[in-house]
Structure 1
Amino acid sequence: MFDYQRFGSTAGDALQANVKALDRSMAAGLRPPRRMKVSEWASANRRFADDDPIPGPWRHETAPELVEIMDALTPEDPCEEASIIKCAQSGGSASAENWIGFISDLAPGPMLFVQGTLTAALAWAAEKFWPMVEATPKLNPARGGTIRAQGTADGDGSTKGKIRFARSNGFVLLAGATSAASLRQRTVRYAVEDDLDQYPDDVEGQGSPETMVDQRLKVWKRQGLSKRLKISTPLIKGTSKIGRSYAASDRRRFYLKCPECGSRFVPEWGDIHWPDGAPEQAHLIPPCCGFDHVEHWQKGGMKLPDGWLSDEIEGEKVARVLTEEEFKAARGRMPASVKRGFHLTGIISSFQTWADMAVEFVASLGDLNKMKAWTNLVHGFEFELKGGTPDYEKLRDLREQGWGIRHVAMLPVGVLVVTLGIDVQGDGVYVELVGWGPNAESWTLDARFIPGATDVKGEGAWVDLDQYARRQMVYPGGRSYPIDQVCCDAGYNTEAAEAFCRSHPNRLAVFGRAGWSLPILGRGENLRYEQQGRKAGQASKRAEDKAYIVGTFGIKLSWYGFLRTTLKAAADELDGLISNARGRVHFNADLPDDYFEQVTAETIVTETVNGLPRRTWKPLAGRQNHWLDCRVYNTAAHEKLMLDTLTEADWAALRAERCAPMDGKQPSLFDGPIAVPIAPVQPKAGQEILPPMPTFIDAGSDYL
């Protein structure tokens, strides 16, 4: 026994206390971390702030389907890669957050967290991760937690792009799938690939982001110590990245336990039922016993933590409906695979009701783009593209009697809003004038080419286009109103197009962009970059330099669906059936023949990029697509006016306002304002030019 007292009582006691503290520290450093599953860590430590939707501690009862997903990420589990294909807001990302907290506490190491863009990754950290750290004492640096604070005086704290752990040299490096530099900076042990289907197929010519993450994990994977989590809502079947990853896994599905007969079953959309016209009363009829009916509030009791089961075990497909004994036996035979896939569907999600799903499903009927969004985000499945290009010759046969746009100066009955879509070319502009009514019904009123140079603002074709766009529309009853919204393609000769749009408040410069996940009309993509000074090359921060982006892929999908619906409705009406299909399209008798070829000029093809399939729109050989682009921009105008949000009462009020007779008298077909024709235009080679449409002047208008 060492004699501390020979140094005196005061010094001896201090030395002895220091030695004990050193002894405890050395023992703590040598002691292996406590064996704990990720789900156990979450239950013991994860907290939500008081202003969160579900405040307080993490409770497995809220979403028991997440327990097995988190436990697959525990270091002792043989799983190397977990894939979560999911609906929106289903808890997959929260599981990843719990895993990061667990790693910082019990298994520190280098991690890569990848989002679609670096901006999205930084937003995740600011909006999700740091609020979790602040609300969770185990992580909070102010309480001695496992995450280092940002902006520490010693410069050794967390930064905007790198989250440091208090223990060891562990960290989370934030990266964007569009930046090769951020994906090749470090060798890492762990990786989270969030929102996987938003990743590009190739990043800066260096291969796919997934391949680059493979390289970052290679050293740790060789030692059997790496872990990888892939999370995403899916997009298009056959090309979805998360769908491909799930297909390569053991493909686990979640079985509910029937509250009536006790059997286990995988719920499908066909099991959800509701009375006619009342989707808000949706309920589930289990396929095991057909009990009518199971209400949404019973869902929580039907979900048990052991609900996951692979769809194939030992080479045999597992049935959708199993007795409890069969289910337990199958669970016992299910191997602990190194690649696990979990399908978090909307039906099992704790965070949306069956009624909510049914209401949104009914609202999506008849619109393929909306149905795709419902399938991906609400249902949590890949969307399968079906159907070919509509037959333009059959569409041409559907031209209706001239509505008076050229002849009797009157819009057809049913039109309550008018938009104009413009596609800009070097030698002129293509225009399509469209009338809209409830239920996305549309009337193609006019389609023409206005020739002239477009590279100089205010000159050439822009002069005649400006006069065309200022015309007044005369509704049944004789009242005249201006075109409600104009959307002009500004991707070509941008400055001239923007100058045209700035000259009138109802005009919008838009930029078409390819992509299945883009909204119909979004704002936020940078159009200009600083040209000089210390910020040269950086994206402009001015609001006016943020472009209105039009998601062309989804709009074309809806348009082709509406055309097929129109052909079917016309066939049904020949058989005496009445059709009220969403998106019915009417065509003016005066439309040029090549209009129908152009609005069906593209088809969906499968390309191969870096050995992986990609579904995209491509023009058909020998077909121009200018009026198809015009219809895309008209749909963006429809979205800008938020016509889909109008109720029946809103449409009725609009009809009463615009179609009311002038001075209480309904005019005859020979009455009407004075027609002022625009200047005639000369046709380009091979292009038919229609007679100019009269411009109707309303003397009281503020738009002229």
Structure 2
Amino acid sequence: MREPMRAFSDPKVRKVVIVAASQVGKTEVELNALGYVMDQDPGTVIFVHPTLDDAKKFSRLRIAPMLRDCPRLKRKVHDVRDSKASKTVLQKSFPGGMLMLTGSNAPSALASTPARYIFGDERDRWAKSAGKEGDPWALAEARQTTFYNAKSVEVSTPTIKGASNIETAYAGGTQERWVVECPHCGEWHDIDFDYIRFEPWSETVNGKKVWHIKGGVDWCCPSCGCLSSEQEVRDAPHKWRADNPSAYEEKGIRSFWLNAFASPWVPWERIVIRFLEAKDDPQKLQVVYNTLLGKLWEDRGDLASDDELLARREDYGTRPDGTEVELPDGVLCLTCGVDTQDNRLEYEVVGHGQWGETWGIEKGVIMGRPDTDEVWQRLDGVVEHVYRYRDGGGIRISMTCVDSGGHYTQEVYERCRARQGSRIFAIKGKGGEGIPYTSIPTKVAIRDKRATCWLYTIGVDAGKSSIMSSLKVQEHGPNFAHFPRGKGYDENYFNGLLSERMVLTTGSTGNRWRWEKIPGHERNEPLDCRNYAMAALKILNPDMDALFRARTETKTDNTAHPAPRRRRNGRKTRSVDW
């Protein structure tokens, strides 16, 4: 913790971010920095906690003992006298400055007093909005505008991946990790739980499982694979290593990430036992991940049941001529995902709106071997079809991704090459953590290598996580997934869409999350089709704002002048097709 404290007194640093497991000293850094301000470099301090009750508790249990036991601070710091007793707890004065403690849910304190210093404790537990005035951290930082030498400290244990404020703050800084030099090869690595090795065994005592570790806990070096004991690692040299050092010079932000394996008060065996006791309970496991392993937790709990999603289906409405509306007004772009089987093609057409909102448009099956012309001609009919809004305007599918795995890889390459003009591309799914959802396409040879085809590699695990997250959204709007009644969205579809889940596996190569099928959900084609359709949007990367403006203008025009129905001779109408 010496380096974060040095960073606070560095004139070039404007912000210090600490992401750390519980009880490794991050609160002591805050207290020491606060004492430094009071004694050496005074100014007004706003110290923000998740709630006012947390602020009062922190004042009584942490700040009061520090002021009592440090003679220099005891002589300088005084309570702010007020008729209300709480003021003496939440406000303290010292020569040249004042300390104000408040909660993230108290907008009056965050938006009224100019302050040179901002301290934020347990940032990920803060309220999303201070009353009706917006992000509490943004409100607090706005108080520093007039100070050229302002400083802030943002501290928290990590919480949910993708919803963690401290994760975002850390990414904006130097991104420093506490690393150790391997006693065997001399390479530097942080102590990550994925490389901790142990041999567990359990016994049942009074009906309860009790875990034990046989032979101690070791660390496996990612570079050389050699095992080092806990004591060997503690005795080895350590240092902070920055992954983004330019943030120091360019933005004056230093960020640090630390887990409990660095704590001198927590034996590694205790961490491992806590993990084993919690591994079968997602809620308990999240606590271990956040407070001991210092990791962000991905919410991989159970999704809604098949029946719940089936009951969530909607009616998209009817057009003036009595036909069903194919496209709700929020749809701005269409993509299609195609899964290849030995005797059929399964596809799903997905509509996309602003901010990740999606609509299922059509789920279908084209029976026949994928090496026959008839099957692909029927797929052409799906891709070239103009899907209609209520007002008569229409759009076609912008991009289609076709799975090239299975027994018909070369046939898929040939058919996709012939349909590149319709933006039908072959894709190959690749599982595993850390694989990006989409990447730059490569050219692959077809049969005798006289021709080539573009092939996209899709990180299917990343796509599945995104899909499952969207299914948990309960309110219409950003990231919500809509499904229509009929059009292929039946019990079998939702059974396949929810056919897989993430499970944690512990093995000789480390601890890994992987997708596995849920018993009773044997067919996963609907999940694959949705995954490929979402990947197509990612590859296409359309300008949704521009599409929204174009759709709004078209809708207004069609309202003023209703579009005529398509004539039997196939002549063009004034419907907008793109």
Give me the TM-score of the superposition, normalised by structure 1: 0.43
Q: Please say if 1:521 is aligned against 2:295.
A: no
Q: 1:548 Cα shift?
A: 1.6
Change (3 A) 1:432 1:466: same
Alignment of structure 1 residues 206-605 onto 2, 5 Å? 255=29, 257-258=33-34, 260-261=37-38, 268-270=122-124, 282=138, 298-299=150-151, 337-338=235-236, 340=238, 350=248, 381-403=295-317, 407-408=323-324, 410-455=326-371, 459-492=373-406, 493-502=408-417, 503=419, 504-523=421-440, 527=444, 547-566=455-474, 569=475, 580=477, 582-590=478-486, 591-605=489-503
Query: What displacement does 1:343 show?
Result: 8.8
Question: Which residue of structure 2 lines up, in the alignment, with residue 115 of structure 1?
Answer: none
Aligned alpha-carbon RMSD (Å):
5.4
- Return the match for 2:533 from 628, 634, 658: 634
Residue aligned with 2:331, SS: coil
Can you list the C-alpha shifts for 1:301-358, whole angstroms capped at 9, x where unaligned?
Answer: 999xxx9999xxxxxxxxxxxxxxxxxxxxxxxx97426475979999637869999x
Hey, which of these two has a bigger chunk of strand by percent? 2
Report the secondary structure of 2:512's partner residue.
strand
Q: 1:301 to 1:408 in 2, by over 3 A?
A: closer
Instruction: For residues 533-589 of structure 1, give each alpha carbon's deviation from its aligned partner in whole angstroms, at most 9, with x where no partner exists.
Output: xxxxxxx9x9x66632222112211211111113xx3xxxxxxxxx54x21111110
Question: What residue number does 2:561 align with?
Answer: 665
- Structure 1's 413 and 351: CA in aligned 2 closer, same or farther, altered over 3 A? farther
Residues 433 and 614 of structure 1: CA distance in aligned 2, closer, same or farther (over 3 Å):
same
Q: What is the letter of the counterpart of residue 527 of structure 2?
A: L
User: What's the CA shift for 1:455?
Assistant: 3.4
**Shift in alpha-carbon separation, 1:613–1:410, aligned structure 2, 3 A:** closer
State whether residues 252 and 309 of structure 1, in contact with CA within 8 Å, keep that contact through their aligned partners in structure 2: no
Deviation, 1:521, is: 1.5
Residue 509 of structure 1 and its aligned partner are, at CA, apart by 2.0
- Deviation, structure 1 residue 278: 6.2
Distance across 2 between alignment mates of 1:399 and 1:556: 21
Instruction: Go from structure 1 to structure 2 and tell me whether the alpha carbon gap of 1:433 and 1:339 turns closer, same or farther (over 3 Å shift).
Output: same
Pair 511,299 (structure 1): closer, same or farther in 2 beyond 3 Å: farther
The secondary structure found in structure 2 opposite 1:487 is strand
Q: How does 1:32-43 map to 2 (within 5 A)?
A: none
Structure 2 residues not aligned, in runs of 5+: 4-9, 40-62, 67-118, 155-172, 181-232, 256-288
Structure 1 position 602, deviation (Å)? 0.4
**AA partner of residue 429 (structure 2):** G
Aligned residue type for 2:526: W
For 2:298 and 2:445, the matched residues in 1 are separated by 37
Work out the CA distance in 2 between the residues paired with 1:298 and 1:309.
30
Deviations 1:368-405 (A, max 9, x none): xxxxxxx99xxx95343442133111000011125459
- Any stretches of 5+ residues in structure 1 without a counterpart? 1-38, 40-59, 67-84, 88-242, 286-290, 311-334, 358-374, 533-539, 570-578, 677-695
Contact 2:416 2:424 in 1 (8 A): yes
Amino acid at match of 2:493: Y
Local SS of the residue matching 1:523: coil
> Relative to 1, partners in 2 of residues 1:382 and 1:269: Cα closer, same or farther, differing over 3 Å?
same
Q: Secondary structure at the match of 2:471?
A: helix
Matched to 1:476, the amino acid is R
Shift of 1:446: 0.9
Q: Deviations over 1:147-176 (max 9, x none)?
A: xxxxxxxxxxxxxxxxxxxxxxxxxxxxxx
* Conserved? CA contact 1:601–1:620, under 8 Å: yes
Distance 1:297 1:524 in 2: 48
Distance 1:509 1:516 in 2: 22
Q: CA deviation at 1:628?
A: 0.5
Check whether the contact 1:421–1:633 (CA below 8 A) recurs between aligned residues.
Answer: yes
The alpha-carbon deviation at position 422 of structure 1 amounts to 0.9
Percent pairwise identity: 20
Q: How far is the alpha carbon of 1:638 from its aligned partner?
A: 1.8
Q: CA deviation at 1:474?
A: 1.7
Q: Is the 8 A contact 2:497 2:526 kept in 1?
A: yes
Q: Report how many residues are paired.
A: 369
Alignment of 1:62-73 (within 5 A): none
Which position in structure 2 is the counterpart of 1:10? none
